[in-house]
């Protein structure tokens, strides 16, 4: 009887450790896939943090949710350094008059209505995405707020310069990836 129990416990331990190993293997594959050259974007080469100390409390809290949840699938540098800037139609019309540089090169800044809304929803629809419905709205609102703060006005000039440098370095070090994303001859 004791032998059956020992054998049963041994089998259970092997089963559990085998499942844990398989889980580690899956985790390792997921981590590796984030660093494969074919998965890289210019944005991934930029800063992976934002100084939100001057942001309103709700955006500071949303930043923590964003950083934790979004990092489960890709670097948070990807959205942080993205060209996307969500503006309303009225804000776009005003920006075309006040800051035409925003519209000169869509690889540097790409102002569009509901762009972050679409991206957050797209990410949420992917299998295994940890962003739940209650997380989606604060993340979206954070991305809208943050992109306006960092990508417009005086901050916008610095952002476009930094983004141009990211694109240049990416094209230089990963020409195939650059072509995959932006097309030949860009």
- Per-residue pLDDT of 71-130, as tens digits, reads 999 999 999 999 999 999 999 999 999 999 999 999 999 999 999 999 999 999 999 999
- Indicate whether 22 and 49 sit together in one domain: no
**CA–centroid distance for 11 within its chain:** 42
- Indicate whether 175 and 162 sit together in one domain: yes
- Indicate whether 115 and 67 sit together in one domain: yes
- Indicate whether 24 and 69 sit together in one domain: no
The pair phi, psi for residue 166, each rounded to 5°, is: -60, -45
- Lookup result for tokens 């230089």: 172
- Per-residue pLDDT of 11-29, as tens digits, reads 444 444 444 444 444 444 4
Range of the domain at 117: 37-182
Number of domains into which the chain is organized: 2
Buried b (16+ CB within 10 A) or exposed e, 7-34: eeeeeeeeeeeeeeeeeeeeeeeeeeee
- Indicate whether 23 and 64 sit together in one domain: no
Instruction: Write the CA distances from 145 to 1, 80, 118, 128, 132, integer angstroms.
Output: 66, 12, 15, 26, 20
Name all contacts of 100-105 with Cβ < 8 Å and 24+ positions apart. Answer: 101/156, 101/157, 101/160, 102/151, 102/152, 102/156, 105/160
pTM, full prediction: 0.78
């Amino acid at each position: 009887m004791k032998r059956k129990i020992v054998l049963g416990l041994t089998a259970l331990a092997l089963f559990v450790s085998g499942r844990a190993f398989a889980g580690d293997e899956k985790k390792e594959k997921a981590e590796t896939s984030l660093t494969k050259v074919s998965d890289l974007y210019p944005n991934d080469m930029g800063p992976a943090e934002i100084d939100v100390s001057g942001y309103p409390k709700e955006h500071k809290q949303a930043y923590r949710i964003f950083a934790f949840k979004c990092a489960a699938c890709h670097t948070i540098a990807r959205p942080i350094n993205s060209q996307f800037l969500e503006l309303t139609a009225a804000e776009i019309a005003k920006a075309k008059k006040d800051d035409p540089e925003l519209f000169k090169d869509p690889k540097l800044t790409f102002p569009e209505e509901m762009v972050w809304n679409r991206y957050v929803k797209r990410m949420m629809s992917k299998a295994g995405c940890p962003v739940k419905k209650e997380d989606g709205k604060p993340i979206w609102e954070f991305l809208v707020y943050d992109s306006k703060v960092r990508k417009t006005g005086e901050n916008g000039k610095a952002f476009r310069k930094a983004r141009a440098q990211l694109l240049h370095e990416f094209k230089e070090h990963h020409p195939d990836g650059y072509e995959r994303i932006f097309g030949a001859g860009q």
